[in-house]
Chains A and B, each alone.
Chain A
Amino acid sequence: MKIPKKTLLDLYATMFRIRCFEERIVDLYARGQVPGLAHLYIGEEAVAAGVCAQLREDDYITSTHRGHGHVIAKGAELKLMMAELFGKKAGYCKGKGGSMHIADFSIGMLGADGIVGAGLPIATGAAMAAQLEGNGAVAAVFFGDGACQEGEFHEALNLAAIWKLPLLFVCENNHYGVNTPAAYSLAAREITRMPAAYHIPNRAIHGNDVEAVYRATGEAVDMLRRGEGPYFLECDTYRWHKHKLSYEFVDLRPQEEIAAWAKRCPIAAMEAKLVRQNVLTLSEIGDIQEETLKQVEEAHRFAVESAYPQGQNALEDVYSL
């Protein structure tokens, strides 16, 4: 199947938007301009972009502590995200969530989450809601190789399988839980053996090839929308940055490994391929980059200019009316 040029441009733009947004965050953290911590997605952009491009606005996703990419790919507004990172009242969560807890329920983005694996049970509920609505909507849950070590992972696989939930499991295998290699902590070795044990159709793909992710997701989501039950995609990828942005945190991964993966940049790879094949021109790419930089700049300015919440706003939203 040939992917239309319009879609290719969108995929590229989404990946570049994630990269650009996060590079700005790196800069802001280095200058101490945002509070707390952030977990960066740089290097893994093809997964969020490829998966979310196959989702409708009424499809649900849940995300992880490394969630900026998923939030952006699902269609969130950079301004509201950036304001949230700054802890401003205009942010997605009125400054109550920060980097790790961005949600936009209006576009089916049910939240990023600081507990490894915790998005899995929540996504089974969203998938169940979609199943009960019976309108062909689906849910996708993003998680890493680390989450595959949690009990919630197995509970969610089992539940999705017995109830044939329209749930797409998207495992972003970046090979490390903080600094601990999955090669050490996952006895199953091949992650797809675990969904296979629950009779969930599955596939391992190159997660830095956005076209591959887009195609595989398309086939999986078609099955989900037909009511054939859950599907499991393992996307092989790597994060370029250390586990979290904080001064004292030390990256223990081998330098050669980090350097090797940097050469497999999903964005550079797509650029090179599409220019070589005369699908995209350098000027089209330049236009996207320029437009994206402008959006990030605007988001940054919006966040800086927005007001902080008052201390007593802490008392609001504990309960819904």
Chain B
Amino acid sequence: MREITFEQAAMEAIQEEFRRNPRTVHLSTDLVAELQREFGADRIRVTPIAENCFVGAAVGLSGSGFRTVANIRMATFGFVAMDQMINHAAKITYMFGGQAKFPILYRMTVGAGISGAAEHSVSPYAMYMNAPGLKIILPTTPYDAKGLFKTALRDNNPVVAFEHVLLLGMKGEVPEDEYFIPFGQASIKREGTDVTVVALAKMVHDALAAAEDLAKDGLSLEVIDPRTLVPLDTATILASVKRTGRLVVVDEACQTCGAAAEIVALVTADQATFGTLKAAPVRVCGLDVPVPFSPPMEEYAVPDKAKIVQAVRDMMRSAPRE
């Protein structure tokens, strides 16, 4: 099968859907030449550097019959548009009693690992999970990126896509034929029997590498990628933990009130699953500091394969719970 990058896969989904539906508009502060060449400057617009305004314009466009893709670029710029994102995009369907649909795809990159320093290395998806009305996707492979984008571009709600900056250039198999990945369907990236590892964004790849290492020690890790945070496929996670009895959640976002905390809470609050736990669930998350610039400090602050391996080993050494 052909291999394309994450970025190309996402772009392909947009191109296919823009060909299919002429009532689509793309807004971004940077020129996307390949889109503008094909769909023209009316539909593919370069915006002024006014995130709040074009995030809000997407709300107005979609409320007036157009599907909009608004590329905010980095999640750090998304904070500039929080009024329109949280007060409006998230709430407008509900507040007006469901009388209109708001089909919008907001894109932004997340993640550390590029010495981007504190502002440009954020992974704030948990903040958005706290705003009911938004759907949140977090693709981690080119295949998932295309399938989830295709679904997002047919959804009638504001969808926020968080794309890890270190995954954009990653290559992977993507079929030529059209396909869709439904929201709320986790992907079990590796099957295992001893520990369930739920990993988010780039950490999926670090968790897979850790699973490979630990397999040499005879430890079998099941690696689950939720793929979408809202809706979240709780059923797949619970079923896996019931089999393994152990849960590690890996996320490079800050630990406090993060998606990892929510996943641990969902598992431990489920009575049937709680009874099967052999150890207390563990979070391997970003430290509660702004992401530092200098590589030694940045590496220290963000999880990686070695930290996941260590956390699993510590967990296995702890007294089994009977």
Interface residues of A (CB under 8 A from B): 60, 62, 91-97, 101, 103-106, 110-111, 113-115, 118, 120-133, 139, 151-152, 155-156, 158-159, 162-163, 316-321
Instruction: Determine the distance from Cα of A246 to Cα of B200 in the docked complex, in whole angstroms.
Output: 47
Are A319 and B157 within 8 A (Cβ)?
yes
Q: Closest approach, in angstroms, between the C-beta of A34 and any C-beta of chain B?
A: 17
- Separation in Å of the B26 CB from the closest CB of chain A? 12
Task: Provide the bound-state CA to CA distance between A96 and B93, in Å.
Answer: 10
Which chain A residue shows the least CB distance to B61?
Answer: A125
Residue from B43, B55, B56, B87 having most chain A Cβ neighbours under 10 A: B56
Q: How far is the CA of A97 from the CA of B100 in the complex (A)?
A: 14
Out of B43, B88, B97, name the residue touching A317 (CB < 8 Å). Answer: B97
The answer to whether A121 touches B157 (Cβ under 8 A) is no
A91–B97 Cα distance when bound, in Å, is 9
A163 touches B45 (CB 8 A): yes
Looking at B63, B66, B132, the one whose CB has the most chain A CB atoms below 10 A away is B63
Closest Cβ–Cβ distance, residue A138 to chain B (whole Å): 12
Residue in A closest to B132 when the chains form the complex, CB atoms:
A318
Contact of A121 among B54, B95, B102 (CB under 8 A): B54
CA distance A151 to B62 in the complex (A): 22
Given A118-B84, A132-B42: A126 touches B63 (CB 8 Å cut-off): yes
11 A-B pairs with C-beta separation under 8 A: A92-B99, A95-B97, A96-B96, A115-B83, A121-B53, A125-B59, A128-B60, A139-B60, A155-B50, A319-B135, A320-B98
Told that A124-B56, A318-B133 touch, could you supply 16 new A-B pairs with CB distance under 8 A?
Answer: A60-B64, A92-B96, A93-B99, A94-B97, A96-B96, A115-B83, A122-B88, A124-B57, A125-B58, A125-B61, A126-B64, A129-B65, A151-B52, A158-B48, A158-B53, A317-B94
Judged by a CB distance under 8 angstroms, whether B156 is at the interface is yes
Contact indicator per residue, chain B 61-87, by CB within 8 Å of chain A (1) or not (0): 111111010000000000000011001
Enumerate chain B residues within 8 angstroms of A127, measured Cβ to Cβ.
60
Contact partners of A126 in chain B: CB under 8 A: 60-61, 63-64
Name the one of A121, A319, A321 contacting B56, with C-beta atoms under 8 angstroms: A121
**B residues near A320, Cβ cutoff 8 Å:** 93, 98, 101-102, 156-157
Whether A156 lies near B53 (C-beta < 8 A) is yes
Is B47 an interface residue when CB atoms closer than 8 A count as contact? Answer: yes
Determine how close the nearest CB of chain A comes to the CB of B318; give it in whole angstroms.
40
Decide if A94 touches B83 in the complex (CB within 8 Å).
Answer: no
Shortest Cβ distance from B62 into A: residue: A125
Name B48's contact: one of A103, A132, A139, A162 (CB within 8 Å).
Answer: A162
Q: Is the CB of A92 within 8 A of B66?
A: no
Chain B residues near A139 (CB, 8 Å)?
60
Point out the residues of chain A lying under 8 angstroms from B60, CB to CB.
60, 62, 110, 121-129, 139
Taken together as a complex, chains A and B put the C-alpha atoms of A158 and B84 apart, in Å, by 17
Give the residue of A101, A124, A131, A321 whose beta carbon is less than 8 angstroms from that of B95: A101
Within the complex, what minimum Cβ distance (angstroms) separates A321 from chain B?
7
Tell me the bound Cα distance from A234 to B50 in angstroms. Answer: 24
Chain A CB within 8 A of B253 CB: no
Given A122-B63, A128-B25, A321-B156, A155 contacting B94 (CB threshold 8 A) = no
Cα A318 to Cα B231 in complex, Å, equals: 12
* In the complex, chain B residues whose CB is within 8 Å of the CB of A151: 52
Known A111-B92, A318-B94; judge A118-B61 contact (CB<8 A): no
Q: How far is the CB of B46 from chain A (nearest CB, A)?
A: 10
**Residue from A96, A105, A106, A319 within 8 A of B63 (CB atoms):** A105
- In the complex, A103 Cα to B98 Cα: how many Å? 10
Known contacts: A317-B98, A320-B101. The answer to whether A110 contacts B64 by CB under 8 A is yes
Residue of A nearest to B23 (CB): A132
CB distance from B250 to the nearest CB of A (A): 28
Complex partner residue of A122 from B59, B93, B132, B156, CB under 8 angstroms: B59
Chain B minimum-CB-distance residue to A101? B95
Rounded to whole Å, the gap between the CB of B57 and the closest CB of chain A is 4
Give the shortest distance, in Å, between A45 (CB) and chain B (any CB).
24
A-side contacts of B25, CB under 8 Å: 128, 132
Closest to A115 in B: B87
A103–B96 CB distance below 8 A? yes
Contact B100 A105 (CB under 8 A): yes
Return the CB mask of B118-132 against A: 1 if under 8 Å, else 0. Answer: 000000000000001
Please give, as numbers and ranges, the residues of chain B lying within 8 Å of A62 by CB-CB distance.
60
Complex CA gap A90/B83 in Å reads 29
Query: Which chain A residues border B52 with CB–CB below 8 Å?
Result: 121, 151-152, 155
- Verify A159–B66 contact, CB threshold 8 A: no
Are the CB atoms of B64 and A319 closer together than 8 Å? no
